[in-house]
Chains A and B, each alone.
Chain A
């Protein structure tokens, strides 16, 4: 069974940093494209970042230069290093797997990041 479990969320001050993790199980993690998607409280969905098995990355303009996506295939884990955090980065962050023509086939349960002073 495919499982994605996010962790690392919490309260952080504006300008601060945080690293999110996504533990994957039930599939060959190293072979799959992975993403981060976020949802601000009461708002819609926003794609944040993409990482291919070969290391190709893409970022939303809103996070480019501040967030870094990475993976550790030995630990079956996806990461999102977030720095220079802003109040508008407050959201539930989901990791999601891509397969073939399905951009977000499986999702984790999400982890809440709150940026506030």
Chain B
């Protein structure tokens, strides 16, 4: 199975900060990576797919990059609504696997 490792596990940041979350795959997944945002008690919401494609309706402050084994999710200017947990997920090969999550907290 492909292991997905996110860093950091927790991130403390302020409104307006630029935030970067890293996701590493245990083997190449080409561009088969998605990013999700989840708020407490809610279902996840897709932000990015195919490593860098922005889902319709998602603010342009979110961006994704990378290919192969290393990927990043960047929030260019953190807003109050962005405090949440973020997950990466590979869909190159079954079983599809998620990273362990990165919680973005208010500093």
Q: Is A101 an interface residue (CB 8 A)?
A: yes
Query: How many Å lie between the Cα of A103 and that of B4 in the bound state?
Result: 16
Query: How many Å lie between the Cα of A103 and that of B31 in the bound state?
Result: 13
Query: How many Å lie between the Cα of A58 and that of B94 in the bound state?
Result: 7
Q: Is the CB of B96 within 8 A of A103?
A: yes
Q: Is the CB of B43 within 8 A of A102?
A: no
Bitwise interface map of A from 98 to 117 toward B, beta carbon under 8 Å scored 1, else 0: 00011111011110000000
Partner of A60, one of B38, B49, B89, B95: B95
For window 74-107 of B, CB contacts with A under 8 Å fall at: 87, 89, 91, 94-101
Q: Is the CB of B44 within 8 A of A103?
A: no
Partner of B43, one of A47, A60, A94: A94
Query: How many Å lie between the Cα of A104 and that of B89 in the bound state?
Result: 10
Query: How many Å lie between the Cα of A103 and that of B34 in the bound state?
Result: 8
Query: How many Å lie between the Cα of A104 and that of B38 in the bound state?
Result: 13
Partner of A102, one of B55, B97, B101: B55
Chain B: minimal CB distance from A55 (Å): 16
Query: How many Å lie between the Cα of A108 and that of B44 in the bound state?
Result: 9
Q: Is the CB of B34 within 8 A of A102?
A: yes
Query: How many Å lie between the Cα of A109 and that of B45 in the bound state?
Result: 11
B residues touching A (Cβ–Cβ < 8 Å)?
A: 1, 34, 36, 38, 43-46, 49-50, 53, 55, 87, 89, 91, 94-101
**Can you give 14 A-B contacts (C-beta < 8 A)?**
A44-B87, A44-B101, A47-B89, A47-B96, A47-B98, A50-B94, A59-B95, A60-B95, A101-B49, A104-B44, A104-B46, A108-B43, A109-B43, A110-B43
